[in-house]
């Protein structure tokens, strides 16, 4: 696939022209060019590219400073770093800021093309998985709920949901809260998660740095069944029940696990605000 927009950020005119004339244009990539990080930031805010080819040492705003600014603004664009400096310190710094690939100057056309292909391929896969997640949530918006137990204010817990992969990097809606007393919070949460384990949403998403995260508190369970489970916790009968996904209901079973603090339990809807 070609036609992606690539931003070249380098204070050296010769290097910018080499990349554009010999790497991008012959392979039908669209391009933008910036002379430093500050100019690049302005371009990114106007028209986000699909990939950034980023020099490390530049005036006004260097590569690391631009990466930090993008991270602060929660702008997630793949980056290939271009540098004469191959030290371990530089590698650690830019990796922490989200860079997963780099080329050392002077580089060949093939070296740059391979780095571009790797980064764009990863980005395409990430977009496809994000689109799949969106479709999954949209198709199950009345069923998908995050069930957690907290001793904190629920709204505070959700304040940065769209930046948190455990919330699927999305805004969430609180659809129910329950206050329970004289119950050990972590044991209660473990109990709830065991009950609904057959309906756990099995999904892996990547955080804004590209690291895989497996959220464990999302379940495909109707809200009224969560209500029933809470009532059975209150009356002490929950240990006799488990969740059956086929009938979407609690069914009686054996066993007598005990949960014995206090806390607030919340069911948060997976409905995305789009």
Q: Which domains does the chain have, with CATH numbers?
A: 5-136 (3.40.50.2300), 140-269 (no CATH)
Compute the average pLDDT of residues 87-114.
83
Give the angle 116-120-126 at the CA atoms, nearest 5°: 155
**Res. 97: pLDDT tops 50:** yes
Q: Residue count of the chain, please give it.
A: 274
pLDDT of residue 257: 40
pLDDT of res. 273: 31
**pLDDT value at residue 84:** 79
Q: Is 126 helix (H, G, I), strand (E, B) or coil?
A: helix
pLDDT tens-digit series, residues 114-153: 999 988 887 777 677 767 766 766 666 678 888 888 777 7
Distances in Å between the Cα of 118 and the Cα atoms of 17, 41, 54, 125 are: 22, 23, 15, 11
pLDDT of residue 259: 39
Residue 260: what pLDDT?
37
pLDDT at 18: 96
């Amino acid at each position: 696939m070609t036609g992606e927009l690539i931003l070249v950020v380098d204070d050296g005119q010769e290097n910018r022209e080499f990349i554009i004339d010999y790497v991008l244009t012959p392979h039908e990539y669209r391009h933008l060019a910036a002379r430093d990080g500050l100019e690049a930031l302005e371009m990114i805010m106007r028209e986000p590219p699909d990939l950034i080819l980023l020099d490390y040492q530049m005036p006004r705003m260097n590569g690391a400073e631009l990466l930090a600014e993008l991270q602060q603004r929660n702008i997630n664009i793949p980056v290939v770093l271009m540098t004469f400096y191959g030290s371990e310190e530089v590698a650690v710094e830019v990796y922490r800021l989200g860079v997963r690939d780099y080329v050392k100057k002077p580089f060949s056309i093939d070296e740059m093309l391979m780095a571009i292909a790797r980064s764009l391929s990863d980005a395409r896969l990430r977009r496809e998985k994000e689109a799949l997640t969106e479709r999954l949530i949209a198709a199950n918006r009345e069923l998908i709920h995050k069930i957690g137990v907290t001793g904190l204010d629920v709204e505070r817990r959700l304040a940065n949901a769209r930046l948190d992969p455990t919330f699927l990097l999305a805004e969430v809606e609180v659809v129910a809260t329950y206050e329970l007393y004289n119950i050990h919070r972590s044991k209660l949460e473990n109990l709830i998660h065991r009950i609904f384990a057959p309906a756990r949403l099995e999904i892996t998403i990547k955080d804004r740095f590209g690291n895989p995260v497996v959220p464990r508190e999302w379940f495909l369970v109707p809200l009224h069944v969560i209500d029933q489970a809470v009532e059975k916790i209150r009356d002490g009968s929950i240990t006799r029940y488990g969740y059956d996904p086929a009938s979407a209901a609690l069914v009686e079973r054996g066993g007598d696990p005990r949960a014995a603090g206090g806390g607030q339990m919340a069911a948060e809807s997976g409905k995305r605000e789009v």
